Structure 1
Amino acid sequence: MQGDSIANKKNEEVDLQELARVLWGKRTMILILTLVSVLCAAAFAFLSKPEYEAKGYVVPPTQKDIENFNYGRARDSQLTPYTIKDVYGVFTSYFQAESLRQEFFNNIYLPSLSESERQKSPDRLYADFSKKIAVALPSKDFAGRYSITVRSDSPARSVEWIHQYIARASDLAKQELLANVMREVEVGARNVEQQIATLRNVSQKEREDSIIRLREALQVAEALGLERPLIITGNPAIEITGNMAGQLIYMRGTKALKAEIENLESRKSDDPFTDRLRELQAKYDFYKGFEIKARDVSVYRMDGSIARYDTPVKPVKSLILVLGLLFGLVVSCGAVLIGYLVTRGRSASS
């Protein structure tokens, strides 16, 4: 009984040499299945739309690139000068912004797709787009340098998309910076205009006050019969002339007082007699004529040229063919062995 049991167990065990003979006997079928698998892999590799990659790098602008932002913005003025960090910070915020990615997706990426490709769900389309455009943060070795990698079905299109993406981020950053500059200029112009109006109002009030004082002095001079300025001599001699102030104004005489009153009343403008007015007017004219053009400034620099790769990064044909070969071998050998084991099990049970 024990011998029969051992014999049965040996019969049930799988002999590796026997399996090798089975596989060799079915080598034609295995070869055909493997060849079919390789052909399918080759068809996928050569018929799939290739993807080409391009990569570009951006770095902060130079001081010369941003100097027009600081036109008239001295440190002792009300307008704080912009630094390279300020300007580049605005650019990189747009460069990484999700809003720019969505705008690029809607305006550039979607129109490049065929009608059938656009039939996918919006989420799927945007997921595919996100795999094709990637913005990388700076590394420790290259602080401030950002990279952008783009994949598309054409090397030229990949490079073009990088140019378009960077240019759009630059335009948005310039628009924000220029808008901020012009708002500050407008506020500065309003402040200076208010100061000018205040000075003119004060100057007018002072002229009116002077006329009142002169009229009172004229009354005193007429009462005293002083027609000409009174000259007082002594040791030392003192001459009271037209620069008298306070209660001695009447000593100028009626003729001088009347002439001065007439002159003040007929004065058309107090501007020539207003301190700091011309300085403020020059500052106001500067603000009103202030202008910066977007082409005169730059918010980034390209670090080298855009790297264009004419060899597709996807699909990797050699890898696909190798995987097709392995898949064909595994599936065909597995099918042969499963068939052999099933047949052997039936024979043993019968």
Structure 2
Amino acid sequence: MQDQPYRMVNDNNDEIDLRELIRSLWDQRWVIVGITAFITLIAALYAFLATPYYRVQSILRPVEVGVLDSLNATEVYELKPLEALSRVSGGLSSYGNRLEFFQTHEELFADLAREGLTAEQAFEDFNSEAFAMLYPDPKKNQGEFVGMALTYPASMDGVSVVNEFVAFVLQQERERVASDLAVVIANRKANIEQRIEAARASYQANKEAEIATLLEEAALKRAKLEDELRALRAELKIRRENRLNVLEEAIRIARSLGIRKPTTPTAMADAGQGVRTEITSREIPLYFLGVDALEAERDVLRARTSDDFVEPRIGEIQKELDMLRHNRQVEVLQQRQDEDLYLKELAKLREEAARLDGIEFDASTLQLARIDQPAQQPLKRLKPKRALVLALGVVLGGMLGVFVALMRNLLQPRRARPAH
């Protein structure tokens, strides 16, 4: 029971302190109101005098597949819609493209000039803060697109900057596609020319190899025929000499028998020459021709200068040698005029070159991306948000006013409390 008065005293002191605090704040209400009004005024000045900033954006989506048919129909350069959109995205994010656009459209960036900075430095600072690329959120089913957003001050025509820059990039990419196509065609044509030259060189090498082969075969055949001709002539000469030896023997036999004229064994027996010969072979011995006939043959053989007429093969060899003196196939190969006619692949290569020469592509009509949302004049500013700034000014001003009042209350000496 002794603790009760003590707690009552403490409770009374807390109540007195709170009442004094509220009374102190109320006594300094005009200080609080003044500070709140002052901070709110500063906030209002900022809200209404600060340069307003706006934000615009442009969204591009892939074109339909058929839109790129004119390019893909060339069969030398293929571009798919997503690849075309990727090229446009790269062009929009390229600092080089942005700087080039800035340099060619300085009238759109006239307010960027700052003291102590070059035009390029001012643009680089603006580029790092103002431009932003937009891509689809993987967690959302937004489809494929690419976009560009621009945050700009009210003194700048941001809508024109975004729309003209998008058009600038699309034109740049069209020109790059046309340039790439021209390079591909030129490379294809150069490759075809190289293949044609290679085909011609190969044809010449093959022709020369064929001529060399034909000449070699003809030379080999001529050498074989000449060897055969010499062998035949040598054989005929030996045969003639052998015949002469045979005739000499037969002449001696015929003289010893006294046979001058051709006769037969039967005729000699009937003539009473006392010769009785029984011939069992089918061929009558040569000496029965008589000395006169044998000597006549011997003399003729001795007087012969050539035995070629005896062997028919020699005539055939002479004929073949005469034909080999002029290799008509080699002459025809050497006398060819328009040798391109004999190149099998040349017609196809020339057809391909003619097709490449006939490609006519108008890049000005090429649509690489579809502008789904062009930049539009914004209906409200991005910053400063006046209502929010004023509300923050009132709240911060009130908090600061209360804080100042509390500090003043703490710094002032406490007044004597009335006794109870």
1:301 CA drift (Å): 1.1
Equivalent position SS for 1:113: helix
Q: How does 1:100-249 map to 2 (within 5 A)?
A: 100=97, 111-116=109-114, 119=117, 129-139=127-137, 140-154=140-154, 157-202=157-202
Measure the CA separation in 2 of the matches of 1:141 and 1:155.
37
Q: How does 1:268-283 map to 2 (within 5 A)?
A: 268-283=337-352
Out of 367, 377, 389, the residue aligned to residue 320 of structure 1 is: 389
1:169 CA drift (Å): 3.7
Equivalent in the alignment of 2:245: none
Measure the CA separation in 2 of the matches of 1:294 and 1:48.
46
Measure the CA separation in 2 of the matches of 1:268 and 1:63.
51
Q: Is 2:92 aligned against 1:90?
A: no
Supply the AA of the counterpart residue of 1:191.
N
1:343 CA drift (Å): 0.7
Equivalent position SS for 2:147: strand
CA contact (8 A) 2:57 2:374 kept: no
Measure the CA separation in 2 of the matches of 1:128 and 1:194.
51
Measure the CA separation in 2 of the matches of 1:50 and 1:112.
17
Supply the AA of the counterpart residue of 1:85.
L
CA contact (8 A) 1:67 1:297 kept: no
Equivalent in the alignment of 1:45: 47
Equivalent in the alignment of 1:309: 378
Measure the CA separation in 2 of the matches of 1:125 and 1:305.
23
Measure the CA separation in 1 of the matches of 2:389 and 2:122.
24
Equivalent in the alignment of 2:25: 23
Cα gap change, 1:181/1:116 in structure 2, threshold over 3 Å: closer, same or farther? closer
1:262 CA drift (Å): 8.1
Kindly provide the CA deviation profile for residues 267-298 of structure 1, in whole angstroms up to 9, marking residues without a partner as x: 64233444342331121133345454431322
1:59 CA drift (Å): 0.9
Measure the CA separation in 1 of the matches of 2:117 and 2:12.
61
1:83 CA drift (Å): 2.2
1:197 CA drift (Å): 2.3
1:332 CA drift (Å): 1.6
Kindly provide the CA deviation profile for residues 135-164 of structure 1, in whole angstroms up to 9, marking residues without a partner as x: 122123123112322121249722222223
Cα gap change, 1:187/1:115 in structure 2, threshold over 3 Å: closer, same or farther? closer
Task: Pick which of 38-47 and 146-155 moved more.
Answer: 146-155
Equivalent in the alignment of 2:294: none
Equivalent in the alignment of 1:339: 408
Q: How does 1:49-64 map to 2 (within 5 A)?
A: 49-64=51-66
Q: Which has the larger Rg?
A: 2
Equivalent position SS for 1:340: helix
CA contact (8 A) 1:53 1:308 kept: no
Task: Pick which of 58-67 and 155-164 moved more.
Answer: 155-164
Supply the AA of the counterpart residue of 2:110.
S
TM-score, normalization by structure 1 = 0.68
Equivalent position SS for 1:151: strand
Number of positions where the alignment pairs a residue of Structure 1 with one of Structure 2? 309
TM-score, normalization by structure 2 = 0.58
- Percent identity reads 21
Kindly provide the CA deviation profile for residues 42-75 of structure 1, in whole angstroms up to 9, marking residues without a partner as x: 11111111111212211112223322332321xx
CA contact (8 A) 1:91 1:300 kept: yes
CA contact (8 A) 1:211 1:261 kept: no
CA contact (8 A) 1:200 1:271 kept: yes
CA contact (8 A) 1:60 1:145 kept: yes
Kindly provide the CA deviation profile for residues 92-130 of structure 1, in whole angstroms up to 9, marking residues without a partner as x: 23334455566667777994335446659x999856643
Equivalent position SS for 2:58: strand
Measure the CA separation in 2 of the matches of 1:308 and 1:44.
24
Measure the CA separation in 1 of the matches of 2:415 and 2:104.
66
1:195 CA drift (Å): 2.3
Equivalent position SS for 1:52: strand
Measure the CA separation in 2 of the matches of 1:206 and 1:119.
72
CA contact (8 A) 2:109 2:156 kept: no
Equivalent position SS for 2:413: helix
Measure the CA separation in 2 of the matches of 1:316 and 1:83.
44
Measure the CA separation in 1 of the matches of 2:42 and 2:331.
109
1:322 CA drift (Å): 1.0
Kindly provide the CA deviation profile for residues 321-346 of structure 1, in whole angstroms up to 9, marking residues without a partner as x: 11111122111222122111211359
